[in-house]
Chain A
């Protein structure tokens, strides 16, 4: 089955620690995205990538970093500089063309120990 796989489902971070969230897609999509979801708020864009080896900051990129070395993979690192990392993180992908929906993985819930 084609889809987007995020791992792990639950992740815990200690103070001063960087953690990396995995996102893999087998949909052959060019574009990939990372969003953060907090209770009572709409999804907020962290980073996006329209093509391999290129990515751009979204609306709330501070304290996060990404890489896009392969078309199917777009890992997100939550650094120690992100002071409020507790959230539900969602990865999405799309064909990257106009009027095409983004499709989402099942998320990673990050909590602070």
Chain B
């Protein structure tokens, strides 16, 4: 399928190495953050989330770090595999009147390529 994000920042990493993908968010009122993985022609896949009262959260092979002081979010992927090649983007959520839960604002993403 057609790639989404034709002019995305790119990151190439050797298979087995660790990857770090960064995201700067814009709104200091955002209190919930999500990382998604999107493969070509598919919908975004939830990876991991973090609330603003946390600085770090770990999942399987992934870690998300949140620095509220500089409004920065990062996703660390350990021991990258060929299947990790995809576009990764962050989303910031903030409470909004009449929205019920958080309204999400999505970044444009980073294309991660794993080199065998």
The CA-CA distance from A113 to B105 in the complex, in Å, is 31
A107 to B42, Cβ gap below 8 A? yes
- How many of chain A's residues touch chain B, expressed as a range? 20 to 34
A70: chain B residues at CB < 8 Å are none
Give the top 9 A-B pairs by smallest Cβ distance, nearest first.
A42-B106, A104-B43, A43-B106, A50-B100, A106-B43, A39-B6, A104-B44, A101-B46, A107-B43
In the complex, chain B residues whose CB is within 8 Å of the CB of A95:
101
Q: How far is the CB of B64 from chain A (nearest CB, A)?
A: 12
A77-113 with Cβ < 8 A to chain B: 88, 90, 94-107, 109
Q: Which residues of A contact B (CB under 8 A)?
A: 4, 6, 31, 35, 37-43, 45, 48, 50, 56, 88, 90, 94-107, 109
When each residue 41-64 of chain B gets 1 if its CB lies under 8 Å from chain A and 0 otherwise, what string results?
A: 111111001010000000000000
Please, how many angstroms separate the alpha-carbon atoms of A62 and B46 in the complex? 28
The residue from A4, A97, A107 contacting B101, defined by CB atoms under 8 A apart:
A97
A50, A94, A105, A106 pick with most chain B CB within 10 angstroms: A106
Minimal beta-carbon separation of B101 from chain A (angstroms): 5
Contact of A40 among B1, B6, B104, B106 (CB under 8 A): B6
Annotate B68-110 by CB proximity to A: 1 below 8 A, 0 otherwise: 0000000000000000000001000101001111111111110
CA A103 to CA B43, docked complex, whole Å: 9
Check B1–A109 contact: CB distance below 8 A.
Answer: yes
